[in-house]
Structure 1
Amino acid sequence: IKPQVLPVVLDELRGLIHPRQLVFSIVAGARTETIAQGIQHRAIVRVMPNTPAQIGEGMSVWTATPEVTEEQRAQARAILQALGHEIYVGDEDALDMATAVSGTGPTYVFLMMEALVEAAVHLGFSRRVARELVIQTVLGSALFARESGRHLAELRNMVTSPGGTSAEAIYQLEKGGLRTIISKAVWAAYQKSRLLGDMSSKRGIRSISPLESPGIPTEGVEEHKA
């Protein structure tokens, strides 16, 4: 839902939600306060999922307003675990950060994979073989990183022999400023998420009577996986 459309959607939902119902919001940048004021309902869970949730391998970062009961939180966690992994955060600002990292993250990975496929085709592989090579390499690397529990730099060094092909490739990537480019991209996505939130807040609250602020949960970060 685009920020300019959100107020209309909230207006349509106002008065239709049962007091004991739990509302999930996956609108990028939209604060729980904006949703609460728009629909005149306080029990809200805000989630930032990502596309791998479609195959049960997603990463969902979520938070909840104080009005969400422990029973409802358990229900929310169960739903999100069905989509993959989930992390609860007490500070809603972390949702904007999650948007830039895990929410938008598949885009970065797919772009890198696309570039690797094109490079493999340029070397002489068929597109079918190139795609299989890249997908399995990325999948295997991700699983290895998760299962080994080792620092990512350590894993990288395991395949980077002095004077070898990996060392040469890494040199070119570092020389091209890959780390800086990724950092800038993530920061830009974070800023965009905050901007969308500000737009939603300004448009969503307009002509709607304010309610008492639900505040921010003070619990720490809780990570769970399916």
Structure 2
Amino acid sequence: MKVAIVGGGVMGEAILGAALDRAVFSAPEVTVIEKLEARRDQLYARYGVQVSSTFEAMSDSSLVIISVKPQEMRSVAGTLREDAVLLSIMAGVTITSLKAEFGHDRIVRAMPNTPAAVKAGMSAWTATEAVSADQREFTRTLLSAIGRELYVDDEKKIDMVTAVSGSGPAYVFLFIEAMVEGAVTVGLPRAAAEELVLQTLYGSALYAQESGRSAADLRAAVTSPAGTTAAGLLELEKGAFRAAVIECVKAAHERAVELGNA
């Protein structure tokens, strides 16, 4: 099969690297369309794929991945084969908009996140009726190469996903920053603080995934009455931490909907 990846940024490269590593497709089958010459040179040297600054490769590819910023969609000027799948990872860009822009019906709309760069991403996706069963299965395989995948049958849920797992890594990184600063404030060297915080978050997430218990149960199990954890959690509650996170997700969702209506 032939694959065109439009946009060689972080997410485009994450999908490319994982798909090649896990033999979803091979380097000779891929053309990355990227406007920056230096970036094209990097991707060619790193992966051995074809690179281009023009859109001709879209016209004979069976899979076209659109991995540019939403506001750059109208700069993509290529045409697609009738039987090709158009896979968009642009935040907020609806299937209706994609159909209108590209005059195409076989569309997958997906929302991966940046941990895809280390094959630990979370991707939610949906597809139009024109996407065949085999093409859907291939989409699952491709998105599984960069982490976990979740199919949703209602496109509106993609905007909800965008606010949670799509934007979520930034929320987690902010929490990491704050925990590290707190550790430094109480006297730990920064390098030690970073190692402690990163491993704690990684281990906690893995434990939550594998234990089968709710986050509330796991939190309660760590929290002894009048202990150190209780004292720390009390300060988070005083600062309305829980409410702030909820409002954070709501605001991101509202913005994703706004982008789709723009």
TM-score above 0.5, yes or no: yes
Distance in 2 (alpha carbons) for counterparts of 1:79 and 1:2? 21
Q: What SS does structure 2 have at the residue aligned with 1:120?
A: helix
Q: What SS does structure 2 have at the residue aligned with 1:86?
A: strand
| Letter matched to residue 52 of structure 1 | P
Unmatched segments (≥5 aa) in structure 2:
1-67
The residue number in structure 2 matching 1:125 is 188
The residue number in structure 1 matching 2:213 is 150
The residue number in structure 2 matching 1:45 is 108
Alpha-carbon offset, residue 3 of structure 1 = 4.4
Alpha-carbon offset, residue 4 of structure 1 = 4.1
Alpha-carbon offset, residue 122 of structure 1 = 1.0
The Cα RMSD (Å) is 1.0
TM-score (norm 2): 0.73
Give the % identical residues. 48
Alpha-carbon offset, residue 2 of structure 1 = 4.5
Alpha-carbon offset, residue 54 of structure 1 = 0.8
| Letter matched to residue 84 of structure 2 | Q
Distance in 2 (alpha carbons) for counterparts of 1:55 and 1:79? 14
CA 1:86–1:3: 2 relative to 1, 3 Å:
closer
Distance in 2 (alpha carbons) for counterparts of 1:133 and 1:166? 16
2:169 is aligned with 1:102:
no
Distance in 2 (alpha carbons) for counterparts of 1:53 and 1:5? 22
The residue number in structure 2 matching 1:5 is 72
2:80 is aligned with 1:17:
yes
Dislocated runs of 4+, deviation >6 Å: none
Q: What SS does structure 2 have at the residue aligned with 1:60?
A: strand
Alpha-carbon offset, residue 160 of structure 1 = 0.3
Distance in 2 (alpha carbons) for counterparts of 1:118 and 1:170? 17
Distance in 2 (alpha carbons) for counterparts of 1:4 and 1:29? 10
The residue number in structure 2 matching 1:187 is 250
2:244 is aligned with 1:197:
no
2:95 to 12, 32, 47: 32
TM-score (norm 1): 0.84
| Letter matched to residue 85 of structure 2 | L
Which of structures 1 and 2 has the larger relative contact order (alpha carbons within 8 angstroms, sep 6+)?
A: 1
Distance in 2 (alpha carbons) for counterparts of 1:45 and 1:4? 19
The residue number in structure 1 matching 2:178 is 115
Q: What SS does structure 2 have at the residue aligned with 1:197?
A: helix
